[in-house]
Amino acid sequence: MVTGARVLIASRVVEQRPVALARLVERGCRLIENPDGSRDGRSTLGRLLESADALLVGTQSIDAAMLAQTPALRVIVKAGTGVDNIDLDAAAMRGIRVAATAGANAEAVADYTFGLLLAAARRITDADRSVREGRWERFTGADVHQKTLGIVGLGNVGRAVARRAAGFEMRILAVDVQYDNAFLQEYRVDPVDLDRLLSESDFVSLHIPFMPLGGHLLNRERITRMKHGSILVNTARGGLVDEAALYEALCDGRLAAAALDVFEQEPPRDTPLRTLLNVVLSPHNASYTAESMNHVADTAVEMLLALLEDTQEDKAG
């Protein structure tokens, strides 16, 4: 039991699932009420956090200045993948434990990734637009079957994408910092360096966290190394890709198409990528299925409860 722990829910994924909220209450948590009905504003979130022992957060930024005003906070759980919206150094300095529901939405994101890949390769959005506008055109796309897929990041989502690619009899290349050799062998995945992956892949799919100090993973130089006529799919983080360089590569024909679920700025109001018909655009939607959101919410709640219990034991000890 975590009797009396004050929990702030700042994730719509969890907030909209009564069963998950009831689980917290059943285990002795007190949910912090928000009479304003919104937790998106920085000032509102900061004010509510002042009395919180634990935070269940979505995509809101939790920085050092905000954490400095949280004397009781000891646990943060991100309902989603990646913790780039949380200042981990500041949290560590204050003894706040941070976790995320990595893998809880992996299958949903992998499904969506392949959906975007197919939409870009076969020009499905162009065909849809044509019929809706009263035309009847044929659009020549590119095969996916037996083509080469380069997966950057072979974690939970990357492996799930590889499993789907195997069904299309694709040649699969991958780059990561470490590999599961049994998985590589079972799905015939070739571990390679990034330059080789970019130069040989017909499709490149990104599945790594954003690294703020490392700049763009796909900067102008690396985009020029990509195979001519290839297609980029990004369901990871918008900051991985130099959008200006991507726009140029799509305009001059080096890349045939791109499918993007994430952007450097969200929503992407000013990006010229919105003007291109060879780009499939999506509003950071890859994980949004009913089943996935339920799983993320349940996982986040269980992680939060476990961490609260651990911190209580540490304090007692």
Domain ranges for the chain, please list them: 6-104+290-316, 106-281
Q: Are 206 and 235 in contact (CB under 8 A)?
A: yes
Structure tokens at 146: 């037996």
Does the fold of domain 106-281 match that of domain 6-104+290-316?
Answer: yes
**Quick one: 51 exposed, middle or buried, by C-beta within 10 A (0-12, 13-18, 19+)?**
middle
Q: What is d(CA 317, CA 312) in angstroms, rounded to the nearest whole number?
A: 9
Predicted pLDDT of residue 311: 82
The more confidently predicted of residues 165 and 33 is 165
Residues 114-137 have a mean pLDDT of 98
Q: Is the pLDDT of residue 35 over 80?
A: no
Q: Of 68, 110, 92, give the one whose Cα is nearest residue 236.
A: 110
Q: What is d(CA 290, CA 261) in angstroms, rounded to the nearest whole number?
A: 18
Other Cβ atoms within 10 Å of 190 Cβ, number:
14
Other Cβ atoms within 10 Å of 82 Cβ, number:
15
pLDDT bracket for residue 235 (50, 70, 90): very high
Q: Which amino acid is at 314?
A: D
Other Cβ atoms within 10 Å of 151 Cβ, number:
28
Q: Which amino acid is at 149?
A: L
Residues 186-211 have a mean pLDDT of 95
Q: How many residues does the chain have?
A: 317
Residues 47-56 have a mean pLDDT of 94
pLDDT bracket for residue 43 (50, 70, 90): confident
Q: What is d(CA 298, CA 104) in angstroms, rounded to the nearest whole number?
A: 9
pTM: 0.90
Instruction: Please identify which of the residues 97, 225, 284, 309 carries the catalytic annotation.
Output: 284
Residue with tokens 């870009």: 120
Q: Is the pLDDT of residue 46 over 70?
A: yes
**Quick one: 202 exposed, middle or buried, by C-beta within 10 A (0-12, 13-18, 19+)?**
buried
Instruction: Please identify which of the residues 137, 186, 266, 291 carries the catalytic annotation.
Output: 266
Q: What is d(CA 30, CA 303) in angstroms, rounded to the nearest whole number?
A: 16
pLDDT bracket for residue 232 (50, 70, 90): very high
Was domain 6-104+290-316 assigned CATH 3.40.50.720?
yes
Q: Is the pLDDT of residue 84 over 90?
A: no
pLDDT digits (tens, 9 = 90+) for 86-118: 999 999 999 999 999 989 999 999 999 999 999
pLDDT digits (tens, 9 = 90+) for 1-21: 677 899 999 999 999 999 999
Catalytic-residue membership of 237: yes
Tell me the CATH class for 106-281.
Answer: alpha beta
Q: What percent of the chain has pLDDT over 90?
A: 85
Catalytic-residue membership of 284: yes
Predicted pLDDT of residue 282: 98
Instruction: Please identify which of the residues 237, 243, 254, 295 carries the catalytic annotation.
Output: 237
